[in-house]
C-alpha cells in the first residue's frame, strides 16, 4: 500500500537557529558549474523498463516511448545499462560487439532514434561500457582460442599455464565474484610432450574472459569504442568494474574471497584493509588508463564548453573513500559512485560520518560527490532499509530469508532519498525507486537467471530480485510493461498498487514525493550548494543547511531517533512523511527553506 503524507508549504514551529558560523562541510560550486557536477541521473535497466515488441524483454523503442515520463519526473540525464550484442550470459555485461545493438533490444537505428528523442526532451544519455572483460563469443577471444598458446591473439587476454605437474590445476587460487574458480581451462596438459594445461582468467563468469590491459591493442580499441559512441551523440559512459582492469604483476595468490566490496554489519569500525590489498582490484595502474580516456572525451568538446562536457562515471567498489577519490582527479573521471554511502547502516552517526568524509575527500580533488542508494546490483533500498539494522547486506532476498518490514523499509527509503537529494553533488536514481518498488523476494528458483545463482550451486540468490520489469499501469497486461503480458522475470503482486498510474497525482505518493524533491532541488540549487551542519539537535538527528549561491538557505533534516524533532523556523518545502504536531517523526526527513 502507499504511505501517504501531506507536503506542507506553511510556516513550521520555531526550533534551533541556523548559525552561519556552524561547521562548513563543503563550499558551494559556482553558478556556472558544469552540468555533471549537480545532475540527477536515472538508471534504466533496458531488459526491465518497457517492452515495445511484446517478447517479455524490454527494448530501445520501449525506452524511447517512455522518455517523456523521465522529463516529467525532473531528472537531468539517463544511464542505460548494456544494450550491446551479447549472448546474455550475464544480462548483457558479456559483450560480443561493442559497436552494435543486440537484436533483443533493437538496432543501431533504434539507438539513434532514442538519442534524438532524449535530446528533444532535454535529457542527456550515458551508456554503460564494460572494459574489464568481453564475452567469450567476442571475435578477439574466438581468435585467441583458435591461435593457441603463446600467440599474439592470446596476449589480449590473460592466459596462463596451469599449476601442478601437468598444468591441470588453476594457475592460482583466485575465486570468481560469481563464486567458483576465477580460471577456466581451455586445453589439457600433455604428459607425452610436456605441454602444460592452458587457462584464462575470468573474475566473473566463465563466459566473461578478462582482458589484458597491459596490451596496447586493448587500450587503443577502447579509445576507438569511446569515439564511436561519442560520434553518435552520447553524453558519457558509466564504466563497469572500473577498479578491476589492472591486476598485480605476477598474479600473486589471494586467500580471501574475490568480492567487489566487503559486506559490513555496522557493528563497529569498518575493516581497515584497503580494497587494493587484493591483487585484482584497485591497482594504481588503472589511473593511467583513465587519463587516456579523459583525453578522448575532452577532445570531443574542443571548445571546452561545460554544457557540452562528455563524462566518465566509475563503478568502483573501493574503500577507503580516499582511494575512491583518486578516480575523480581532474585528469581522470568526472564521477565515481559513492558506494560507502550506499552500504552505511541506518544510523545517524555513521551516516553523518560518511557524508562528511565523502565531501572532504571529493573536495580534495575538486570533484563532486556522486550519491546513490540503489542500482541493478544491490537489494533495493526500500527493502534493504526494512531489514534489521546491523545485519550484513544481503545478495538477494528469497522466500526463506528474513523478510524486510515493508512499511519501515519504505518510510526509511523515502527519508534516505530526501536526505540524498538535499546534499550537494550529483545523484543517481534506479528505475522504479521513485515508485517505492521493493525487492522481489518471491522469485521462483526456476525463474532465476543471475549467473551467481548457478555458479554458487544455487546457494547465492543473486540480483534478479532488483531487476523486475517496471510497473506502469495497474490493470494492464504485465502492469503496462508490454501489451502481451510476457515478462522475463515475474512481477510480484505488490507492484500492482505501486504502478505509475496509481501514484500519479496522488498527494503523498512516493512518485509525487520524488517529483517534488527533484523540482525543489533544481529551484533551490541544492546540487551546487554549500553544506553546513545545523546545530542544536541531538545525536539521532542529521541536520544540515544547504546554502545556495543566491543566498537562500535550505535545512535538510532526518530524524532517526525515537522522539519527534522540532523543525527550524521557515517554510516547509518537502517532507518524506507526515509531520507530528509540526515536528519530524522517527525515520522521516524534511527540507525547510529558512527565514
Q: Which pLDDT score, from 0 to 100, does residue 90 have? A: 95
Query: Is residue 187 domain-shared with residue 235, that is, in the same domain?
Result: no
What pLDDT digit, counting tens, does each position of 300-336 carry? 999 999 999 999 999 999 999 999 999 999 999 999 9
Greater pLDDT, 114 or 262: 114
**Is the per-residue pLDDT at 341 higher than 80?**
yes
Query: Is residue 117 domain-shared with residue 223, that is, in the same domain?
Result: yes
Query: Is residue 148 domain-shared with residue 285, that is, in the same domain?
Result: no
What value does the mean pLDDT take over residues 100-127?
98
Residue 559, helix vs strand vs coil: strand
Query: Is residue 327 domain-shared with residue 458, that is, in the same domain?
Result: yes
Out of 516, 537, 552, pick the residue that ends a domain: 516
CATH no. for residue 458? 3.20.20.80
Q: Which pLDDT score, from 0 to 100, does residue 14 have? A: 46
Out of 487, 516, 545, pick the residue that ends a domain: 516
- Note whether residue 80 is domain-resident: yes
Name every residue whose Cβ is closer than 8 Å to that of residue 502 and which is 6 or more positions away in sequence.
Answer: 2, 474, 496, 509
Q: Are 414 and 421 in contact (CB under 8 A)?
A: no
Name every residue whose Cβ is closer than 8 Å to that of residue 132 and which is 6 or more positions away in sequence.
Answer: 203, 204, 210, 211, 240, 241, 244, 245
Q: Determine which one of 90, 205, 240, 512 is catalytic.
A: 240
Greater pLDDT, 455 or 564: 564
Q: Which pLDDT score, from 0 to 100, does residue 100 have? A: 98
Query: Is residue 164 domain-shared with residue 240, that is, in the same domain?
Result: no
Query: Is residue 232 domain-shared with residue 155, that is, in the same domain?
Result: no
What value does the mean pLDDT take over residues 550-560?
96
- Note whether residue 552 is domain-resident: no
Query: Is residue 390 domain-shared with residue 412, that is, in the same domain?
Result: yes
Q: Which pLDDT score, from 0 to 100, does residue 448 have? A: 96
**Is the per-residue pLDDT at 265 higher than 50?**
no
Q: Which pLDDT score, from 0 to 100, does residue 269 have? A: 42
Greater pLDDT, 260 or 555: 555
Q: Which pLDDT score, from 0 to 100, does residue 393 have? A: 86
**Is the per-residue pLDDT at 261 higher than 90?**
no
CATH no. for residue 191? 3.90.400.10
- Note whether residue 578 is domain-resident: no
Residue 527, helix vs strand vs coil: helix
Please classify residue 569 by burial: count the beta carbons closer than 10 Å to its beta carbon, then call 0-12 exposed, 13-18 middle and 19+ buried: middle
Q: Which pLDDT score, from 0 to 100, does residue 18 have? A: 60
Q: Which pLDDT score, from 0 to 100, does residue 13 have? A: 46
What value does the mean pLDDT take over residues 425-439?
98
Q: Which pLDDT score, from 0 to 100, does residue 15 have? A: 57
Name every residue whose Cβ is closer than 8 Å to that of residue 75 and which is 6 or more positions away in sequence.
Answer: 40, 41, 42, 123, 429, 518
Query: Is residue 273 domain-shared with residue 292, that is, in the same domain?
Result: yes
Instruction: Pull the grid cell for residue 533.
Output: 551542519
Q: Which pLDDT score, from 0 to 100, does residue 307 have? A: 96
Nearest to 496 by CA among 471, 469, 513: 471
- Note whether residue 456 is domain-resident: yes
Instruction: Pull the grid cell for residue 231.
Output: 560520434
315 is annotated as an active-site residue? yes
Q: Which pLDDT score, from 0 to 100, does residue 2 have? A: 34
Domain extent for 363: 30-132+214-516
What DSSP string describes 4-51?
A: P-----SBPPP-SPP-TTSPEEEPPPPTT--GGGT-EEEEE-GGGT--
Q: Looking at residue 482, what DSSP letter applies?
A: -
What pLDDT digit, counting tens, does each position of 566-576 carry? 999 999 999 99
What pLDDT digit, counting tens, does each position of 127-168 carry? 999 999 999 999 999 999 999 999 999 999 999 999 999 999
**Is the per-residue pLDDT at 262 higher than 70?**
no
What value does the mean pLDDT take over residues 475-504?
98
- Residue 485 phi/psi, 5-degree rounding, is 90, -5
The distance from CA 106 to its chain's CA centroid, rounded to whole angstroms, is 24
In percent, how much of the chain has pLDDT > 90?
90
**Is the per-residue pLDDT at 268 higher than 70?**
no
Q: What is the pTM of this model?
A: 0.95
Q: Taking every pair of C-alpha atoms in the chain, what is the biggest distance, in angstroms?
A: 87
Number of domains in the chain: 2
Query: Is residue 126 domain-shared with residue 162, that is, in the same domain?
Result: no
Query: Is residue 316 domain-shared with residue 396, that is, in the same domain?
Result: yes
240 is annotated as an active-site residue? yes
Q: Determine which one of 59, 309, 315, 332 is catalytic.
A: 315
Q: Which pLDDT score, from 0 to 100, does residue 284 have? A: 97
- Note whether residue 23 is domain-resident: no
Q: Please tell me the distance from the alpha carbon of residue 178 to that of residue 30, in angstroms, as a whole number.
A: 44
- Note whether residue 492 is domain-resident: yes
Q: Please tell me the distance from the alpha carbon of residue 347 to that of residue 334, in angstroms, as a whole number.
A: 29
Q: Are 135 and 195 in contact (CB under 8 A)?
A: no
Q: Which pLDDT score, from 0 to 100, does residue 471 have? A: 98
What pLDDT digit, counting tens, does each position of 284-310 carry? 999 999 999 999 999 999 999 999 999
What value does the mean pLDDT take over residues 451-456?
91
Query: Is residue 300 domain-shared with residue 381, that is, in the same domain?
Result: yes
Q: Which residues of 46-81 are buried (b: 16+ CB within 10 A; e: fewer)?
A: bbbbbbbbbebbbbbbbbbebbebbeebbbbbbbbb
- Note whether residue 167 is domain-resident: yes
Q: Are 584 and 590 in contact (CB under 8 A)?
A: yes
- Note whether residue 522 is domain-resident: no
Q: Which pLDDT score, from 0 to 100, does residue 55 have? A: 98
Query: Is residue 232 domain-shared with residue 85, that is, in the same domain?
Result: yes
Out of 456, 481, 516, pick the residue that ends a domain: 516
Instruction: Pull the grid cell for residue 430.
Output: 534506479
What pLDDT digit, counting tens, does each position of 174-209 carry? 999 999 999 999 999 999 999 999 999 999 999 999
**Is the per-residue pLDDT at 17 higher than 70?**
no
Total residue count of the chain as it appears in this document? 595
- Give alpha helix (H) positions in 125-266: 139-147, 216-231
Amino acid at each position: 500500500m502507499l504511505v501517504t503524507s501531506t507536503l506542507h508549504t506553511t510556516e513550521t514551529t520555531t526550533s534551533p537557529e541556523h548559525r552561519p558560523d556552524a561547521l562548513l562541510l563543503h563550499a558551494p560550486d559556482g553558478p556556472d558549474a558544469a552540468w555533471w557536477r549537480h545532475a540527477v541521473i536515472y538508471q534504466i535497466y533496458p531488459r526491465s523498463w518497457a517492452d515495445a515488441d511484446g517478447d517479455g524483454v524490454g527494448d530501445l523503442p520501449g525506452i524511447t516511448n517512455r522518455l517523456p515520463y523521465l522529463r516529467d519526473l525532473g531528472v537531468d540525464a539517463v544511464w542505460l545499462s548494456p544494450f550491446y550484442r551479447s549472448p546474455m550470459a550475464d544480462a548483457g555485461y558479456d559483450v560480443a560487439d561493442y559497436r552494435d545493438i543486440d537484436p533483443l533490444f533493437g538496432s543501431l537505428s533504434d539507438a539513434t532514434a532514442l538519442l534524438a528523442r532524449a535530446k528533444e526532451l532535454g535529457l542527456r544519455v550515458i551508456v554503460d561500457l564494460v572494459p574489464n572483460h568481453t564475452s567469450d563469443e567476442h571475435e578477439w577471444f574466438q581468435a585467441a582460442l583458435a591461435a593457441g598458446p603463446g600467440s599474439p591473439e592470446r596476449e589480449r587476454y590473460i592466459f596462463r599455464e596451469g599449476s601442478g605437474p601437468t598444468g591441470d590445476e588453476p594457475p592460482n587460487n583466485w575465486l570468481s565474484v560469481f563464486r567458483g574458480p576465477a580460471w577456466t581451462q581451455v586445453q589439457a596438459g600433455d604428459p607425452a610432450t610436456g605441454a602444460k594445461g592452458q587457462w584464462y582468467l575470468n573474475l566473473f563468469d566463465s563466459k566473461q574472459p578478462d582482458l589484458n590491459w597491459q596490451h596496447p591493442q586493448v587500450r587503443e580499441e577502447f579509445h576507438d569504442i569511446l569515439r564511436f559512441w561519442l560520434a553518435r551523440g552520447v553524453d558519457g559512459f558509466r564504466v563497469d568494474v572500473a577498479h578491476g582492469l589492472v591486476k598485480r604483476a605476477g598474479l600473486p595468490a589471494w586467500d580471501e574471497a574475490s568480492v567487489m566490496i566487503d559486506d559490513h554489519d555496522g557493528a563497529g569500525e569498518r575493516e581497515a584493509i584497503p580494497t587494493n590489498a587484493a591483487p585484482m582490484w584497485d591497482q594504481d595502474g588503472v589511473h593511467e588508463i583513465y587519463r587516456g580516456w579523459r583525453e578522448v572525451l575532452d577532445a570531443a568538446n574542443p571548445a571546452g564548453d561545460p554544457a557540452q562536457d562528455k563524462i566518465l562515471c566509475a563503478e568502483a567498489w573501493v574503500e577507503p573513500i580516499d582511494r575512491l577519490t583518486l578516480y575523480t582527479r581532474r585528469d581522470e573521471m568526472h564521477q565515481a559512485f559513492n558506494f560507502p554511502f550506499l552500504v552505511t547502516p541506518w544510523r545517524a552517526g555513521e551516516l553523518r560520518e560518511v557524508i562528511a568524509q565523502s565531501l572532504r575527500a571529493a573536495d580534495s580533488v575538486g570533484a563532486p560527490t556522486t550519491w546513490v542508494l540503489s542500482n541493478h546490483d544491490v537489494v533495493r533500498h526500500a527493502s534493504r532499509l526494512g531489514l534489521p539494522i546491523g545485519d550484513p547486506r544481503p545478495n538477494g532476498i528469497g522466500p526463506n530469508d528474513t523478510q524486510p518490514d515493508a512499511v519501515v523499509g519504505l518510510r526509511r527509503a523515502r527519508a534516505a532519498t530526501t536526505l540524498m537529494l538535499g546534499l550537494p553533488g550529483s545523484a543517481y536514481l534506479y528505475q522504479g525507486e521513485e515508485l517505492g518498488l521493493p525487492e522481489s523476494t518471491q522469485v521462483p528458483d526456476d525463474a532465476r537467471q543471475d549467473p551467481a545463482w548457478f555458479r554458487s550451486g544455487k546457494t547465492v540468490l543473486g540480483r534478479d530480485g532488483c531487476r523486475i520489469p517496471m510497473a506502469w499501469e495497474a490493470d494492464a497486461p504485465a502492469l503496462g510493461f508490454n501489451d502481451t503480458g510476457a515478462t522475463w522475470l515475474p512481477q510480484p503482486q505488490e507492484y500492482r498498487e505501486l504502478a505509475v498510474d496509481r501514484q500519479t497525482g496522488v498527494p503523498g505518493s512516493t512518485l509525487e514525493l520524488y517529483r517534488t524533491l527533484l523540482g525543489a532541488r533544481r529551484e533551490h540549487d541544492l546540487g551546487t550548494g554549500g553544506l553546513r551542519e545545523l546545530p542544536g539537535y541531538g545525536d539521532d538527528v542529521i541536520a544540515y543547511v544547504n546554502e545556495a549561491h543566491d543566498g537562500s538557505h535550505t535545512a535538510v533534516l532526518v530524524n532517526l531517533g525515537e522522539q519527534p524533532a522540532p523543525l527550524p523556523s521557515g517554510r516547509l518545502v518537502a517532507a518524506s512523511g507526515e509531520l507530528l504536531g509540526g515536528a519530524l517523526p522517527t525515520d522521516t526527513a524534511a527540507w525547510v527553506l529558512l527565514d
